[in-house]
Amino acid sequence: MPGILDKERIVAPPSFNRWLIPPCALATHLCIGQAYALSVFNLPLTRQLGISRSVAGDWTLAELGWIFSIAIVMLGLSAALFGTWVQREGPRKSGFVAAVCWGVGFLVGALGISTHQLWLVYLGYGFIGGIGLGIGYITPVYTLISWFPDRRGMATGMAIMGFGGGALIASPLSDTLMRAFSSPASTGVAQTWVVLGIVYLIFMTGGAFGYRLPAPGWKPEGWTPPVEKEGSLITTHNVTPQQAIRTPQFWFMWWVLCLNVTAGIGVLGQASAMIQEMFRGRVTASAAAGFVGLMSLFNMGGRFSWASLSDKIGRKATYAVFFILGTVLYLLVPATGKIGSVIFFVACFCVIISMYGGGFSTIPAYLSDVFGVKYVSAVHGRILTAWSAAGIFGPVLVNYIRQWQIAHGVPKYQAYNVTMYIMAGLLVIGFFCNLAVKPVSQKHIEAERAPLPEGEPSYAK
């Protein structure tokens, strides 16, 4: 008898309504997407001892910045390390483990905040929570692609949209909770983390227990799996994760993701300062915060819309659009500053950020096209190391180039121009990496008893 968390236990009857799977995936991603809203705790955490203001012994912003960095590094590492396990054990078990890690991470972090031990916050949110992030991020991918072989991009786009949307919920929710818990003796952060940890644990566990896998041989009504054509990028065969990382395709796609993310992540962190410095006197701090909010919406919307579009025009063409349009828009940004058009500037960045989000959500479907469906979670987990690398490249490029320019006498409002040109250059390289993605050679294809039809998963461990 399979255990309650085993994948054999969650095989759905043929008539199962597949539209119940995306809410489960969203339940996972909306919770772990909180990571993007971690900065709302930065200032209160710098006055844990002084409460109303920072005093000697309080944590600095630089020290607190490591919490997010550790979590993102752990996301990449755990997705890469546990990808095969996630695929083998199924979405209920991995979703539940992610829920426990994410929830416990908050609780351990809250203990660290209340006892003022930063290492406990690093351990809780950064390390344990980071593992939850990685496992939770890749958990729904294989399940959704199995249920939606006809709309892979839309299905994974919906889940990964949740990761973008998580911050939109977590940010006002955290503000509300901190206000409710704050007192002359407390900033309310520790209590807020306890509540968030418990809420996320319950919500993610609910999602994990809702996952079902299609029965072997199941396919959507009226859908015929496409026949693999000679030279087509979409394969009906499978490449194991161990073989996948030995193919040039994997590394071209690694760079495609890394460069697309680098171009977006660098400006995402600097958006508020950038718009205020480029349009000095015309954009207030609260308007800049509105700009950041608008970018979050486009980041989220882009995840769904671009991935859905990729079902129609193909993944390679979608990334080609990201790189060509992204290059043009980055080259136009300095001109928007020159002509003083805030609207044009905002429009450029909203589209750029939508493509940043679209890059994340289209990659699982791209991987399943090129390497097959069977091991897509494991391969996806490995390619997410590109995100960790981009998390370092992007901000470093933007921050250091800006600093260097200002140190060499360039006015602040012009200090981002070179960065924009470099970002455009990165996207040109990305375009050629994407162009180089060709069908995988036969020698890398897994020797199969029989080719695995679209939408037909294997549950054999």
Q: Which residues bind other proteins (CB under 8 A)?
A: 2, 8-17, 19-20, 23-24, 26-27, 30, 162, 165, 167-172, 206, 210, 212, 215-216, 283-284, 286-291, 293-294, 296-297, 300, 346, 459
Sequence-distant (6+) residues with CB within 8 A of 449 are none
Q: Which is nearer to other proteins, 181 or 209 (CB)?
A: 209
* Token duo for residue 84: 């095969």
Q: Which is nearer to other proteins, 91 or 430 (CB)?
A: 91
CB of 237 to other proteins, least distance (A): 24
Q: Which is nearer to other proteins, 37 or 128 (CB)?
A: 37
Q: Which is nearer to other proteins, 179 or 246 (CB)?
A: 179
What's the rounded Cα separation, in Å, for the pair 101 and 131? 7
CB distance 197 to 110 below 8 Å: yes
Q: Which is nearer to other proteins, 206 or 269 (CB)?
A: 206
Q: In the block, which residue shows the tokens 């973008």?
A: 164
CB of 131 to other proteins, least distance (A): 23
Chain centroid offset of residue 25 CA? 13
* Token duo for residue 194: 């306890």
* Residue 233: HSE in the Cβ half-sphere, 13 Å Cα cutoff: 18
Give DSSP secondary structure letters for 353-422: HHHHHHHHHHHHHHHHHHH-STTHHHHHHHHTHHHHHHHHHHHHHHHHHHHHHHHTT--GGGTTHHHHHH
Q: Which is nearer to other proteins, 294 or 325 (CB)?
A: 294
CB distance 265 to 399 below 8 Å: no
CB of 418 to other proteins, least distance (A): 26
What's the rounded Cα separation, in Å, for the pair 133 and 220? 31
CB of 176 to other proteins, least distance (A): 10
List the beta bridge partners of residue 213: 11
CB distance 223 to 311 below 8 Å: no
* Token duo for residue 96: 């539940």
CB of 12 to other proteins, least distance (A): 6
CB distance 361 to 307 below 8 Å: yes
Q: Which of 156, 224, 141 is nearest to 453 (CA)?
A: 224
CB of 178 to other proteins, least distance (A): 15
CB of 92 to other proteins, least distance (A): 12
Angle ∠(41,96,373) on CA atoms, nearest 5: 105
CB of 410 to other proteins, least distance (A): 26
Q: Which is nearer to other proteins, 88 or 444 (CB)?
A: 88
List the beta bridge partners of residue 183: 186
CB of 27 to other proteins, least distance (A): 6
Q: Which is nearer to other proteins, 16 or 181 (CB)?
A: 16
CB of 231 to other proteins, least distance (A): 37
Per the rule left: phi > 0, alpha: psi between -120 and 50, beta: everything else, 372 is left
What's the rounded Cα separation, in Å, for the pair 251 and 246? 8
What's the rounded Cα separation, in Å, for the pair 25 and 456? 19
CB of 82 to other proteins, least distance (A): 24
Q: Which is nearer to other proteins, 111 or 297 (CB)?
A: 297
What's the rounded Cα separation, in Å, for the pair 327 and 298? 18
Q: Which is nearer to other proteins, 50 or 217 (CB)?
A: 217
Rounded to 10 degrees, what is the CA torsion of 333, 335, 339, 341? -20
Q: Which is nearer to other proteins, 42 or 186 (CB)?
A: 42
